Amino acid sequence: MTSLSGEKVQPPVEKVAPGIWCVPTVVPDSPIGWTQTYLLESDDGPYLIDTGWNHERAWADLSAGLVECGTSVSEIRGIIVTHHHPDHLGLVGRVRDASGCWVGMHDADTELVKRHRELLADDPEVFDQDTQVKLLEAGAGQCDVDDVVAAGKGVVMPMPALPDRSLDSSTLRLGDRVVELVHTPGHTPGPLCLRIDGRLLTGDHLLKTISSHVGLYGFEAPDGDPLGDFFGSLRLLTGAEPSEVLPAHRGRFHGVDARVAELLGHHEERLEELQKALAEGPLTPWALCQAMTWNRPWDELPRMMLRAALAETMAHVRHLELLGVVTVAVGTPTQVRLT
């Protein structure tokens, strides 16, 4: 097996299984580095799983990568988008324009794309304003709010393309290839994993070295329980070990059951941390955010990541709230206390 675990350099285009190629595309100025898109060959022509960030350099990676696979963008017959995030959906409009292919995604994420398109058309600054409101409600000081908003200013969010085909848990026939789709909500409402010839393509749902981001966002499912959904979706993949996991970021790996157990344990620890912090008395979400363990000390977290850190904290708080462990008094600031 080839393992890219821990590697920080974008890997080359590679045939990873019979008729399946991995085509990495750069995500500029992001700690994630690149997205691993996959090309699936069939007797009906080639299909793509994800595309990449909507950026000229990513387009160059994808275009040249497909030529290395022996095809080209204009030959693509269809794209399965694992979820709506811009490092996966970003280039689909451009591929569709060049090829006339269909673009499929789960309806739950397509609904979000529709919402994002409406909001962005109305006001391109809408997400900055949302960040300000959410941070102030969470109890962040004005300096922190200004820092986080300023850090996000350089990120251009182009209008996302709208998929034209609705996909859900089902078996899809693409020429002579059989693709089993599995809906795995949590990272977003509509992620799809794909079982192809005994392999499992997991998008961002299950990664070897990164714990998928699971956050509570007002624009997505304000009343939902994304962490509870994520737990259910992790368990959904266990008990049927694939021959290899092909994720959208970082290394391929073996051992779904072991990785799922690790991730469930990771989130249980975070839930315990929150309860421990609250044992001293009520706290704001912003204070709870700082009480959680992150992959580096709080002060070293990039400012632009703090909005996501708050959303992740709130996903844990919501899960505890639904379990009856904590009570949330919404306000400015919001207060969380043990029930």
Q: With CB under 5 A as the rule, give the number of residues binding Zn ion.
A: 3
Among residues 112 and 278, whose Cβ is nearest to Zn ion? 112
Q: Which tokens hold the place of 163?
A: 């998929």
CB of 90 to Zn ion, least distance (A): 10
**137 lines the binding site for Zn ion (CB under 5 A):** no
**Interface region with Zn ion, contact rule CB under 5 A, candidates 94-102, 111-119, 203-211, 293-301:** 203-211
**205 lines the binding site for Zn ion (CB under 5 A):** no
Q: Judge contact between 36 and 22, C-beta under 8 A.
A: yes
**116 lines the binding site for Zn ion (CB under 5 A):** no
**Interface region with Zn ion, contact rule CB under 5 A, candidates 10-18, 174-182, 199-207, 287-295:** 199-207
Residue 171 burial (10 A CB sphere; 0-12, 13-18, 19+) = exposed
Among the listed residues 55, 85, 250, 252, the single contact to Zn ion using CB under 5 A = 85
Alpha-carbon distance 310 to 215, whole Å? 8
Among residues 107 and 197, whose Cβ is nearest to Zn ion? 107
**Interface region with Zn ion, contact rule CB under 5 A, candidates 81-89, 135-143, 161-169, 290-298:** 81-89
CB of 244 to Zn ion, least distance (A): 19
CB of 69 to Zn ion, least distance (A): 21
**225 lines the binding site for Zn ion (CB under 5 A):** no
Among residues 139 and 191, whose Cβ is nearest to Zn ion? 191
**87 lines the binding site for Zn ion (CB under 5 A):** yes
Among residues 34 and 59, whose Cβ is nearest to Zn ion? 34
Q: Beta-carbon neighbour count of residue 118 at 10 Å?
A: 10
Among residues 85 and 252, whose Cβ is nearest to Zn ion? 85
**55 lines the binding site for Zn ion (CB under 5 A):** no
Alpha-carbon distance 214 to 103, whole Å? 25
Among the listed residues 204, 220, 225, 229, the single contact to Zn ion using CB under 5 A = 204
Q: Which residues have C-beta within 8 Å of that of residue 152, sequence separation ≥ 6?
A: 127, 128, 131, 304, 307
Cα 33 from chain centroid (whole Å): 14
Among residues 204 and 244, whose Cβ is nearest to Zn ion? 204
**Interface region with Zn ion, contact rule CB under 5 A, candidates 83-91, 93-101, 218-226, 315-323:** 83-91
List residues near Zn ion by CB under 5 A.
85, 87, 204
